A and B are shown apart, each in its own frame.
Chain A
Amino acid sequence: MKKKVLVLMSGGIDSSLASYILKKAGYEVIGCTMRLFLCKKKSSEKQCCSPDDINEARRTAQQLGIKHFVVDKKNVFEKYVIENFVSEYLKGRTPNPCIICNLKIKFDEMLKFAKGLGCNFIATGHYARIETRDEGRGTSYWLKKGIDKMKDQSYFLYGLNQKNLPHILFPLGDYKKTEIRELAKKLKLKVADKKESQEICFVEDADYRKFLERRLHGLKTQITQIKPGKIIDTSGRILGTHEGISYYTIGQRHGLGISVGCPSYVIKINSRKNEIVVGKKEELLSYEFLAEDISWTVSPPEKSPITADVRIRYKHKESKSKIYLMKNNTAKVIFEKPQMSITPGQSAVFYKKDIVLGGGIIKGIKPCVISARSGK
């Protein structure tokens, strides 16, 4: 009997082709589009979840000759992804909702849903690979980068583990994006010319400030307020006022509304004091940070420290470091060379060449000694 796979289809090229490739490979493919939030806009090119995108996914499924369902996951998406997004920004951190969505919605909630439907696998259009290894104690599943280094999305998937990896398929991991685009054209899929979506799907026009304002409008509790506060430099000198720490991110240069004679960057966000600390570009450099909620794709290392290449944001080139495991699923990461703009809330992902070992969420950054000295 054919193996059954539930493919999460957003209406875009990648997930459409994921369905196609799996169907070609002999799976019984069931397409599924999640309704994650209420989309205000009727039509949009970049965002998914709009009625248009759902229709496109449905049309593509019809073109491919596969079944297609729409499921409502608004409640869990709100609970796990959107609430976390808002509370992280309120704490002055810069969250990465796609990572949470992968972990809580796609590869937990929807994996259960797929199993409930009697499927053997769930699949998405992520550019990443899963490799199996047999080492006596049974099969282990290794998460690897996609072969298209420009498009690789393994960063967003580091939270996967041996519980879910055996039930996941990433059919695009062995393809280059250009090949996928070509294939879509060849198949005359309606989505072939669709633009890439890079923005956070539930934030309209990539304007997260407006999103936060709208979300918090009417809520009057202490924690849910965005209040103006001081902008200071590393010596404590007041340089101006900010509109609320949630509106700033580490490394930000524009829109600070201060003039001190040289380019200034946000180097620290102090949520306790509601302060933004600015400094010179060098002051963004740091060797060391603390990460929490650490998880491992195969198994935790047996010794500490380990050496690994660590990536601190999606578009960062991973860099060599030592990772010291600590209590309560935390770890201290020390780079060989200092890195720019390590940002609390973003994820740090640990690689060994192409293999994703695991990762965690960046918590505290240790200011760089050299830059602190040069700041004096």
Chain B
Amino acid sequence: MKKIYLDYNATTPVHPEVLDAMMPYFKDFYGNPSSVHSFGQETRKAVEDAREKIANLLGAENPSEIVFTSCGTESNNFAIKGIAFDNKDKNCHIITSAIEHHAVLKPCEYLSKKFGVDVTYLPVDKCGIVNPDDVKKSITEKTVLISIMYANNEVGTLQPLEEIAKIAKEKNIIFHTDAVQVVGKIPIDVKKLGVDLLSISGHKLYAPKGIGVLYIKKGTKLHPLLHGGSHEKNRRAGTENVPYIVGLAKACEIALKNMKDENDRILKLRQKLEKGILEKIEYVQINGHIMKRLSNTSNISFNFIEGEGILMSLDLDGFAASTGSACTSGTLEPSHVLSAMGVPPEKTQGSVRFSLGHYTTEKDIDKLLEILPKIVERLRSMSPLWEDKKRSEIRD
């Protein structure tokens, strides 16, 4: 059976060119970049070249604004805890949103439980968008950080970052964004966006798992998470992960080169997918903003059944999708994102996220559109909710 992967928001395969770029740095060029000798000089060059390329992709002013981390979660923790700890003498306040990834929500919870940091979780509208006015109204003189994600991982909705950044700047508050789902998909210009801190993760753009970046705008003060050597200008101790850093830079380069075409192609596929589902299956609903959304992400509620059942059935037919974040799978906890958007529990239960990517083809979508209606029909035939619905229709 041919397997079809439609879970690119969870992770992506490593691009062959990325892997090629990385390979020499495992056993041919293995020096510690901090070493004085030629072995170290070779890898130091590789790391700094990579830093420049990534700075270029993000539109950063200076390569030194790029700090390598181990993953997106570390970048988010670094940003949030780093700012909070830098302001530990103040009774500080953080503003974030209810739909952030757990890698933002959990550090915030931790800070508020263990250190008494005040956290405001902003609501979102039914499309999953934060209202900049809410940000403005939540600011107090204790606010030290605003952290709003660029695009949501479950529904793909894009946030009005520039507007929020402007508000932050006016009040002189540091603005962080979790851009893990955006990087490589749409152009990012940190200057234009007006962000101070921005998190990215390698494995969402065809680099390997285990590498991330925190963009730190020059002059932004934050405490390091890891203490040790003076790596990354004393901001992140630990020997640089040279092959992965090289891989991430290569992935950024490839993404930058193909972004527009790739984006258009994927958008067309998603339109086909959503149109097909709406035509072939009744009682479905697309979650998230219909326009202001990542072009690869489609979150759909299939009423009267559980997403879990759809997912497993799809898996048995070779398709990989997810019910929400891979980081919260395996429980029936309703998605905090869909709940915050006001999607009723019975619809959040039946939601499935399809996220398309580089290797998705039109054939894949055709095949999915052939199989999915059968799966939904079979699951509904077993669902008491569906039975109730049909019975009430007959009565009407």
- B is bound to A: yes
Q: Scan A33-59; emit 1 where CB is below 8 A from any B CB, else 0.
A: 001000000000000000000000000
Pair B331/A116 contact, Cβ less than 8 Å = no
Residues of chain A within 8 A of B331, CB atoms compared:
35, 72
Q: Scan A99-142; emit 1 where CB is below 8 A from any B CB, else 0.
A: 00000000000001101111000000000000000000000000
Residues of chain B within 8 A of A30, CB atoms compared:
316
Which of B305, B308, B378 sits near A118, CB closer than 8 Å? B378
Pair A118/B313 contact, Cβ less than 8 Å = yes
Pair A116/B309 contact, Cβ less than 8 Å = yes
Which of B316, B375, B382 sits near A112, CB closer than 8 Å? B382
Pair A113/B330 contact, Cβ less than 8 Å = no
A62 within 8 A of partner (CB): no
B332 within 8 A of partner (CB): yes
Q: Scan B375-392; emit 1 where CB is below 8 A from any A CB, else 0.
A: 100110111000000000
CB distance from B328 to the nearest CB of A (A): 12
CB distance from B3 to the nearest CB of A (A): 12
CB distance from A284 to the nearest CB of B (A): 43
A149 within 8 A of partner (CB): no
CA distance A133 to B312 in the complex (A): 34
Which residues from 180 to 238 on chain A have a C-beta closer than 8 Å to any C-beta of chain B? none
> Which one of A16-24, A63-71, A88-96, A274-282 is at the interface?
A63-71
Residues of chain A within 8 A of B308, CB atoms compared:
71-72
Given contacts A4-B316, A116-B382, 17 further A-B pairs with CB under 8 A are A35-B330, A67-B315, A69-B312, A69-B315, A72-B308, A72-B330, A112-B382, A115-B378, A115-B382, A116-B313, A116-B378, A116-B379, A116-B381, A116-B383, A117-B309, A117-B312, A118-B316
A74 within 8 A of partner (CB): yes
Of the listed residues A35, A70, A117, the one surrounded by the most CB atoms of chain B closer than 10 A to its CB is A117
Residues of chain A within 8 A of B315, CB atoms compared:
67, 69
Can you name 6 A-B residue pairings with CB atoms under 8 Å? A35-B330, A69-B315, A70-B330, A71-B308, A72-B308, A72-B331
CA distance A62 to B383 in the complex (A): 30
CB distance from A13 to the nearest CB of B (A): 24
B residues neighboring A (CB under 8 Å): 305, 308-309, 312-313, 315-316, 330-332, 375, 378-379, 381-383
CA distance A238 to B116 in the complex (A): 58
A75 within 8 A of partner (CB): yes
CA distance A75 to B349 in the complex (A): 13
CA distance A20 to B316 in the complex (A): 19
CA distance A67 to B313 in the complex (A): 12
**CB-CB nearest in chain B for A113:** B309
**CB-CB nearest in chain A for B313:** A117
Pair A74/B332 contact, Cβ less than 8 Å = yes
CA distance A112 to B383 in the complex (A): 8
CA distance A115 to B382 in the complex (A): 7
CA distance A113 to B309 in the complex (A): 7
CB distance from A159 to the nearest CB of B (A): 19
Residues of chain B within 8 A of A112, CB atoms compared:
382
Residues of chain A within 8 A of B316, CB atoms compared:
4, 30, 67, 117-118
CB distance from A209 to the nearest CB of B (A): 30
Of the listed residues A35, A67, A74, A112, the one surrounded by the most CB atoms of chain B closer than 10 A to its CB is A112
Which 10 residue pairs across A and B have the least CB separation, nearest first? A72-B332, A116-B382, A116-B379, A112-B382, A116-B309, A69-B312, A70-B330, A115-B382, A117-B313, A72-B331
CB distance from B302 to the nearest CB of A (A): 12
Residues of chain B within 8 A of A72, CB atoms compared:
308, 330-332
CB distance from B330 to the nearest CB of A (A): 5
CA distance A74 to B383 in the complex (A): 17
CA distance A118 to B313 in the complex (A): 7
Pair A113/B382 contact, Cβ less than 8 Å = yes
Residues of chain B within 8 A of A118, CB atoms compared:
313, 316, 375, 378
CA distance A118 to B378 in the complex (A): 7
Q: A116-B379, A118-B378 are in contact. Are A75 and B313 (CB under 8 A)?
A: no
Which residues from 228 to 266 on chain A have a C-beta closer than 8 Å to any C-beta of chain B? none
Residues of chain B within 8 A of A67, CB atoms compared:
315-316
CA distance A210 to B123 in the complex (A): 41
Residues of chain B within 8 A of A115, CB atoms compared:
378, 382
CB distance from A231 to the nearest CB of B (A): 45
Q: Scan A303-320; emit 1 where CB is below 8 A from any B CB, else 0.
A: 000000000000000000
CB distance from B315 to the nearest CB of A (A): 7
